[in-house]
Structure 1
Amino acid sequence: MSVKAAKHARELLLKEYRGVLSTHSKAMPGFPFGSVVPYCLDAQGWPLILISRIAQHTHNLKQDAKCSLFVGERGAEDVQAVGRLTLLAEARQLCDQAAIDAAAARYYRYFPEAEDYHRAHDFDFWLLEPVRWRYIGGFGAIHWLAQVALANPFATAAGAAAVDAGGSEQGMLEHMNADHASAIAHYVALAGLPTQLPAELVGIDSEGFHLRIGQSVYWLAFAAPCNTPVEVRQAFVSLARAQAWPTDGAVSA
């Protein structure tokens, strides 16, 4: 397996926050059924979606949990020359209340508008458990990937134990949003992102962090991977002092 391809596949899944969910049609057996869904990644790094019980794709998944999520780089002039990913997965509805609460807390950070229709309508959280990846990095750069490291070290149970030290993802997010709004604004300006609305930090992983501006989500890469909360802090401090975005950084709207 190409380590580089696996890294790029993971980054593409992080950069985007919506894709095409393909399910097996219940109404038209034998035909695939595609629909657009927003998603964020859970602590395991698996796509988390919120879908209506009356939606066609939900009926399809209840009959056959095998599905795929297609994610491509948006805004490209030549879609065949840029990265795209088809994630083959088994869909699983979350039924345990603790798991639902954890999923809701994460999902609403990325999509706060979803909280209203989740409460008012029959929507459920589903996880897409990866089975195999098909990543294409451009012409001729085609890879089948059996496994890709996905887990977020700052969102796992181990990371949650470090809340008192501000080492969990949630603790770091609360600290940055409450005490370092000027630094976040600097990241936005440095990366050339829209400045009309305030930005909020909504996710931190070992590779970078997510900002929400209005209803758009942007992923910005750290200059180097961060394996500890101390390294995350150092990366944020370095970016706050930077005059230009690190050349290896990645930005996605």
Structure 2
Amino acid sequence: MSVEAAKHARELLLKEYRGVLSTHSKSMPGFPFGSVVPYCLDELGRPLILISRIAQHTHNLQKDPKCSLFVGERGAEDVQAVGRLTYLAEAQQVEDVAAIEAAAERYYRYFPDSQNYHQAHDFDFWVLKPVRHRYIGGFGAIHWVNELTLANPFAGKAEASMIEHMNADHAKAIAHYVELAGLPKTSPATLVGIDSEGMHLLIGQGLHWLPFPAPCNTPTQVREALVFLAHAEHWPKKAVADA
């Protein structure tokens, strides 16, 4: 397993925000059951999902937490020529009050509409704890990846503060990021997430992850990267190549 494969697999997980959750069917024993779920990554870099208590996949996970999340590159004309990831995991419901609050704060940023149905209906947060991963980066590029997740050093107050500051005071810079990266301009973009490797922008209901030119492990490094990108005339070649 190469470090490079793990990096590309993690970037695919960051770039996408929905996948097929496969569980062991409770009503049809022995058969896998697939359903589409949106997700974002928690403070440890694990997929965080919000699912209904009456949903079939929830009943399945309550009986057997073993599952997988399949994620593929969106909009690909040839699905076999692009990256895809099978994330093998054990699902665990988030039950600690503080953990639920942290999950909600993060998930609502990524999926604003979820706040309405989460509070009005019986939905719970679940986290997919990693076991092993199968990453295919294209024809012949096939890897088993054991270590994929990367903890977010900014999760919590630091990330929330940076996001609030950027959205309140630097809307022009965010619009410039959209322009540089060639993202859709259907509605104004807002910053919703920052990790050590990049940032997430929300445009309408679509999420877009943009990589930093180099990894950032402190708020100061994030600030320097955001300032650099705000004045760049082209998206950095290194970031594009690594995406």
Is TM-score (shorter-chain normalized) higher than 0.5? yes
**Counterpart residue type for residue 212 of structure 2:** F
Write the distance in 2 (CA, Å) between the matches of 1:44 and 1:98.
Answer: 15
1:141 aligns with 2:152: no
Aligned Cα root-mean-square deviation (Å): 1.2
> What secondary structure does 2:23 align onto?
strand
Aligned match of 1:60: 60
- Matched pairs, number: 241
* Equivalence map 1:194-209=2 (5 Å): 194-209=184-199
Q: CA deviation at 1:170?
A: 1.1
SS in structure 2 at match of 1:183: helix
Q: Equivalents in 1 of 2:150, 2:30: separation in Å? A: 32
Spell out, residue by residue over 1:186-231, the C-alpha distance to the aligned partner (whole angstroms, 9 max, x if none).
Answer: 1111111122311110000111000001111000011111121111
Measured after TM superposition, the shift of residue 250 of structure 1 is 4.5
Matching of residues 180-219 of structure 1 within 5 Å:
180-219=170-209
CA distances 1:66-107 after superposition (whole Å, capped 9, x unpaired)? 000000001111111110000000000011111111100000
Distance in 1 between residues matched to 2:9 and 2:238, nearest whole Å: 16
List aligned pairs for 1:23-42, cutoff 5 A. 23-42=23-42
What SS does structure 2 have at the residue aligned with 1:98?
helix
Whole-angstrom CA distance in 1 between matches of 2:181 and 2:82: 21
Aligned to 2:231: 241
For the 8 Å contact 2:49–2:126, the answer to whether it is kept is: yes
SS in 2 for 1:223: coil
SS of equivalent to 1:206: coil
Moved over 6 A (4+): none
Q: Which moved more, 1:37-46 or 1:190-199?
A: 190-199
CA distance in 2, matches of 1:150, 1:56: 30
Q: Tell whether 2:4 aligns with 1:14.
A: no
* Offset from partner CA, 1:92-140 (integer Å, 9 cap, x none): 0011111111100000000000110111111000000000010011111
In the other structure, the counterpart of 1:228 is 218
Structure 2: gaps of 5 or more residues: none
AA of the residue aligned to 2:22: S
Please tell me whether the aligned partners of residues 10 and 148 of structure 2 are also in contact (alpha carbons under 8 angstroms).
yes
Q: Which residue identity is paired with 2:55?
A: A
Contact persistence 1:219–1:250 (CA under 8 A): no
For the 8 Å contact 2:44–2:149, the answer to whether it is kept is: no
Report the TM-score, using the length of structure 2 for normalisation. Answer: 0.97
With normalisation by structure 1, the TM-score equals 0.93
AA of the residue aligned to 1:223: P
Report the 3-state secondary structure (helix = DSSP H, G, I; strand = E; otherwise coil) of the residue aligned with 2:125: strand
**Is 1:81–2:81 an aligned residue pair?**
yes
Q: 1:24-173 maps to which residues of 2 (within 5 A)?
A: 24-155=24-155, 160=156, 168-173=158-163
Where structure 1 has 5 or more consecutive residues not aligned to the other structure, the ranges are: none
